[in-house]
Amino acid sequence: MSVANPVPIVQQVLGVEVTDTHTEALRVAEFAKYKPTYHWDSAQEIELAGTTWRVLASAEIEDAEDTHFLDVVDMWTVSAETIIPPVDHTQILDPNSTEAQHPNNIDDSCSWNHSNAGETVAEISRVRRVLVPKRKGKDPLLTEDVVVNRLGSGIYARFIPVVANVADIPFYYPQVQEYAFGYIEPEDKDHAASTLVILARELSPGSAVATKKQQMIWKDLIKRLYKWTVTERFGYQKRVEHDVMVDYETYMAKYQDLKAKYAAFWVDNWPEQTDPRKFVYEDIAIASWIICLWQQDSENLRPSFVDLGCGNGLLVHLLTAEGYVGYGVDQCSRKVWTHYGQSVDLRAQTLEPYEYVADVDWIIGNHADELVPWIPVIAARSKAKFVVIPCCPHDFSGRKMTFPAVAGQSKYHAYSTYICDLTTSCGFGVEKEYLRIPSTKNLAIVGRRRVAEVSQTNIEAMVQAGKQDFVARVPDSVKGEVRLAKAQARKQQDIDRLSL
């Protein structure tokens, strides 16, 4: 139906989420050349500026330049959290401050002033930073020096923990005196490839690679170093933007708060067959973001809500536990519903979206499948605000959608564009946020401000057109009964056949 797709997909302008296909093809081709070597079993050592280092991993990289490597180092220097997940953020210290000038290292080898091989040593940069962990009340801060040196044909970015003794190194940091990323150009000019290496000055022989977990960390780092350096070579353009509507620190503070309250209990006591670590942490992240979004709403600091297609109901439980009044609707109940208690309002019913009007401030659609395209319409009829996180593409009929192929555009992008167009048609200003959740379907589309007057007559026309085509999904419980009935019928047929 025409009103369901105001702008044909083939005419839509590709957004920031879309990748240049030629550049992407070149980058993928370079990624395919990645063939790392790991040095876990046989200790390979090199001498650099009078100190002995163990080579942990290495990989040849073609056509990259030292500037590409340095660009990656610069990014990682100001954002340690991109390679050390337990770190929340990075603070760069003022070089003139007392804290930045105080050495307090395990040893005094921070400066490379000479090379035993007679090679020139040059210091490119030096930064002192503080790693701030996510669990601020439990894990300590760590001060660290990042020193970048040019030595002979190589550049080495060294990461040196500033601690008085090794016992002060927190769990989230490699247990080494220091580690380094290296970019080494070939001495033989006929050999096109340079080499990326990860080095460590170990606390004791073999201590950096003693466990599978430690080895996996170094594997991940050399792979990221390779891919990010390749990406810098082709020119990096960020594909999505996080923290647009809710700033990172506000969100992370709320997420850590909710995770501490609810995660351990529900991971340990999840009664469903689904993976609790996936659903629990994802819903905690979504609840944290929604609460932060609502706290920006000066009209109502405690808005009411409905979660359409609420599934396991955990999001409703979390919002209710945090003091918000609302309910969830889904076609059938889940086993976990009975574990939330009577204060959590969850309703098992088949919703007819063309008849539904919500008496709430906000409508939520978290992977609500066939209800997602209806939510902007329902919000317009209900004079409510909404947030949807689209997943599988559906149109107004409830059937799965297919989109014509458009170069550089994913099906998910095409579907989210379709939902954004519906949002605009209903008079809402479109706001988008890529959420920090463990899902590839992580785009939140928000309609909280009316920017155009759309008459109720036009809205009702959309409703009536959608009503003609809509077919409600058959509940899973009914599907189960149908499958059971068919199985019993086949069994009876087999019995009758044998009795002949």
* Interatomic CA distance for residues 386 and 364, integer angstroms: 6
Name, in order, each residue with C-beta under 8 angstroms of 131's C-beta and a sequence gap of 6 or more.
Answer: 80, 84, 87, 90, 141, 142, 143, 144, 172, 173
Phi/psi at 156 (nearest 5 deg)? -130, 125
pLDDT at position 236 is: 60
Q: Can you give the pLDDT at residue 405?
A: 61
Q: What is the pTM of this model?
A: 0.64
Q: Tell me what the mean pLDDT of segment 62-76 comes to.
A: 92
* Choice among 32-41, 291-300, 317-326, 343-352 with the minimum mean pLDDT: 291-300
**Cα distance between residue 340 and residue 334, in whole Å:** 11
Mean pLDDT of 244-272: 92
20: exposed, middle or buried (Cβ count in 10 Å: 0-12, 13-18, 19+): middle
Regarding beta strands 326-330 and 305-308, do their DSSP bridges make them parallel or antiparallel, or are they unpaired?
Answer: parallel
Per-residue model confidence (pLDDT) at position 39? 93
What is the residue-averaged pLDDT of the chain? 86
Residue 474 confidence (pLDDT) above 70: no
- Are 427 and 366 within 8 A, CB to CB? no
Neighbours of 325 (CB within 10 A): 13
Find out whether 130 and 61 touch, Cβ atoms under 8 Å. no
Model confidence at 409: pLDDT above 50: yes
Which of these ranges, 100-109, 120-129, 176-185, 282-291, has the smallest mean pLDDT? 100-109
194 DSSP β-pair partners? 61
Q: pLDDT digits over 227-239, tens only?
A: 999 988 887 655 6
Flag whether pLDDT at 7 surpasses 60: no
Per-domain residue ranges of the chain: 2-16+242-469, 21-234
pLDDT category at 440 given cuts 50, 70, 90 is: confident
pLDDT at 376 over 60: yes
* pLDDT score, position 118: 62
The mean pLDDT value for 1-7 works out to 38
Confidence (pLDDT) at 17 = 44
pLDDT at position 455, please?
80
Fold match flag (2-16+242-469 vs 21-234):
no
**Cβ proximity of 381 and 357 under 8 Å:** yes
Task: Give, rounded to a whole angstrom, the gap between the first and last alpha carbons of the chain.
Answer: 54
Higher pLDDT, 3 or 417: 417
Q: What percent of the chain has pLDDT over 90?
A: 55
Give 9's pLDDT tier (boundaries 50, 70, 90): very low
Single-letter amino acid code for the residue at 280: V
CATH fold label, 2-16+242-469: Rossmann fold (3.40.50)
pLDDT at 217 over 90: yes
Counting residues of the chain whose pLDDT is more than 70, the rounded percentage is 86
Is the CB of residue 324 less than 8 Å from the CB of residue 304? yes
| Residue (of 320, 363, 327, 360) closest to 346 by Cα position | 327
Cα separation of 349 and 18, whole Å?
Answer: 38
Question: Is 191 a residue whose pLDDT tops 80?
Answer: no
pLDDT grade for 103, boundaries at 50, 70 and 90: low
The pLDDT of residue 11: 31
Parallel, antiparallel, or unpaired for β 362-366 and 305-308?
A: parallel
> Which residue type, as a one-letter code, is found at position 356?
Y
User: Mean pLDDT across the stretch 204-210?
Assistant: 90
Angle (CA) 401 419 21, round 5°: 75
Strand order in the sheet with 362-366: 345-348, 326-330, 305-308, 362-366, 385-389, 443-447, 431-434
Torsion of CA 188, 68, 227, 390, to 10 degrees: -160
pLDDT in tens, 388-407: 999 999 988 888 888 776 66
CATH architecture of 21-234: 2-Layer Sandwich (3.30)
Mean pLDDT of all residues in 464-472: 81
What token pair was written down for 70?
């340095």
